[in-house]
Structure 1
Amino acid sequence: MRALFVVAALVLAMPSRVEANPARELVQHMSRGARAARMGDWVTYRFNGGGLRVYYWRLAVVGEEKDKEGRDAVWVEMEAGTHPAMKSPLAQMRMLVAREGDVIRYDAISRLYIGAGFSPPQEYSDEALQHVLKQQQEDAKAAQAAAPKTPPRLPGGLKPVARSGKETRLMTLAGTVAAVPVEVVLKSTVIKRMWLSREIPLLNLAKMEIPGIGHSMEVAEYGIDAKPRMRIPAPDAPKVRLEYADAILDDLPGAADDGHGHDTSEDSP
């Protein structure tokens, strides 16, 4: 799961000391046709980490139902791999996420399936899922507590500034779309550059560049006809138990590799 969320974290991460707010241009752009996530929405991104580090990340809404607490919820699938069509994906995830109005609450996951490499997908038991979610919350709190209360001052009183341009036509791997460019700039250096588009479902992100480290992410394909692609195990198939929950996440591509495999089924001794 850490491997699949890494790109989303990069997209959402913005310097905390940005002084200007370019929201007006974005609001005007989004008001001319942007819509909330719907059943069938999907988008695939090409992520370039420099050199030969190129892979694809796909996000799709593939189902709707009530969760265990009676809330409206959607099934969201995530896939990561080296092929744009996700042939032989490196990792897959399917999760049932609560929805409040137009907002998909990724902090309210009630069911979770994980598949990595050649291993068949497995569902997390309730205990294992709660353990993982609790651990993530504790890690987030620890990181927040460890962060300095006063952000370090930049030399010479420099402050990052967010600025946006006018709506433009942007050429992407998925075709040309209308987009608003947004940059985070420190003096004359561009820290991050993004193009946000109402035409791209789910994340509304058309392209992103981080020039300092040579990373980029660009929409490769998108649509409104997503179907479930993960092979769901039978209801009586072994689930991931509590004692193996952390081990499975550590074994996903992109997570820390200790060189040892883990048996995750309930039939393990």
Structure 2
Amino acid sequence: MKAWVLWVVLLAGVGPARAQVPPAARELLSHMSKGARASRTGDWVTYRFHSGGERAYYWRIAVVGDEKDKLGRDAVWVEMEAGTHPAMKAPLAQMRMLVARENEQIRFDAITRLYIGGPFDRPQEYSQEALEHVVKQQEEEKRERQKEDATPAPPSERLPTGARPTVRSGKEARLMTLAGTVTAVPVEVVMKSTVIKRMWVSREIPLLHLAKTEIPGIAHTMEVAEYGIDAKPRMVLPPPNAPKVRLEYADAVFPSLTEAEEGAPAADSPKTPEDKP
């Protein structure tokens, strides 16, 4: 998901002065200023992933409720599902998390409650220590990435002059998608004359504002399949006294798609104290 909100982050970080706006972002800013809105309860979107094989996968994200978190912040319940059916019949993975909102933006780095479910596991809530472990691990990984990004590459790995990727955007136009026709702006990441990635950003698509992505080199596409503003909670939550995911199983978030397709539960799927002999 981090790659798909790249342009949302870009738009939020660009200053108001036109002279300071990168040329590739100007068309995006103009497009989004015509009616884009902050995410709100009820928003949902489903994407279809395809990489040239026979099977496609679907990923759904929805905002299904709002409440105060334990720190007193405004927060929303976000549900995510992944599966091989657009309606998420028998989903391969489910997640429900309570995340804080700040300046009308959902902060996916501020999670205070987390539920995980798989094709062979009833949904379970993460214990406080397990959740703190996951959040801490994410923060450490983020710092490592920032450190790597700030470290100059050795001479042997540096790209020659003129061989660096560039970003360019096209004009706002109508785009046909699986969810219907939407207004979108094409954005391309280009290396010399080769398109590495192509994205279409649309103010009409809720949450991620992303209509379609293509990576031509590996024949990968991600395209909006459905979206709406009437999302309801779909995860069946465990009772309050149900065992929670413990610290030692905190890293086992999802069973792999391969194991789920073959009909065998993942070896490291979340367990409760009752699972131990």
Structure 1 residue 251 corresponds to structure 2 residue 255: yes
Structure 1 residue 205 corresponds to structure 2 residue 210: yes
Q: Report the RMSD for the aligned CA atoms in angstroms.
A: 2.3
Distance 1:186 1:156 in 2: 12
The DSSP-based 3-state class of the residue aligned with 1:44 is strand
- Greater than 4 Å deviation, 4+ residue runs: none
- Deviation, 1:25, is 0.5
Query: Please, which of 193, 217, 220 is the counterpart of residue 215 of structure 1?
Result: 220
Distance 1:10 1:77 in 2: 19
What amino acid is aligned across from residue 274 of structure 2 in structure 1? Answer: D
Q: Is the CA contact 1:91–1:252 (under 8 Å) kept in the aligned structure 2?
A: no
- Deviation, 1:11, is 2.2
Report what 1:264 is aligned to.
271
What amino acid is aligned across from residue 78 of structure 1 in structure 2? Answer: M
Report what 1:94 is aligned to.
96
Distance 1:111 1:47 in 2: 28
Distance 1:138 1:94 in 2: 22
- Deviation, 1:71, is 0.2
Change (3 A) 1:233 1:258: closer
- Deviation, 1:258, is 11
Query: Please, which of 224, 232, 242 is the counterpart of residue 227 of structure 1?
Result: 232
The Cα offsets for residues 155-194 of structure 1, whole Å up to 9 and x where unpaired, read as 3532222111111000000000000111111111001101
Q: Is the CA contact 2:212–2:224 (under 8 Å) kept in the aligned structure 1?
A: yes
The Cα offsets for residues 170-220 of structure 1, whole Å up to 9 and x where unpaired, read as 000000000011111111100110110000000000001011111110000
The Cα offsets for residues 206-245 of structure 1, whole Å up to 9 and x where unpaired, read as 0010111111100000000000000011001111111121
The DSSP-based 3-state class of the residue aligned with 1:190 is strand
TM-score by length of 1: 0.88
Unaligned runs of 5+ in 2: 8-21
The DSSP-based 3-state class of the residue aligned with 2:151 is coil
Structure 1 residue 9 corresponds to structure 2 residue 2: yes
Q: Is the CA contact 2:99–2:108 (under 8 Å) kept in the aligned structure 1?
A: yes
The Cα offsets for residues 10-57 of structure 1, whole Å up to 9 and x where unpaired, read as 42469xxxxx64111011111111100011000000011221342000
What amino acid is aligned across from residue 44 of structure 1 in structure 2? Answer: T
Q: Is the CA contact 2:162–2:192 (under 8 Å) kept in the aligned structure 1?
A: no
TM-score by length of 2: 0.86
The within-5 A match list for 1:117-196 is: 117-146=119-148, 149-151=151-153, 152-196=157-201
Q: Is the CA contact 1:116–1:253 (under 8 Å) kept in the aligned structure 2?
A: no
Report what 2:14 is aligned to.
none
Q: Is the CA contact 1:44–1:59 (under 8 Å) kept in the aligned structure 2?
A: yes
Q: Is the CA contact 2:120–2:265 (under 8 Å) kept in the aligned structure 1?
A: no
Q: Is the CA contact 2:130–2:246 (under 8 Å) kept in the aligned structure 1?
A: yes
The within-5 A match list for 1:12-161 is: 12=5, 21-146=23-148, 149-151=151-153, 152-161=157-166
Decide which moves more: 76-85 or 152-161: 152-161
Distance 1:93 1:51 in 2: 26
The DSSP-based 3-state class of the residue aligned with 2:250 is helix
What amino acid is aligned across from residue 48 of structure 1 in structure 2? Answer: H
Report what 1:3 is aligned to.
none
Unaligned runs of 5+ in 1: 1-7, 15-19
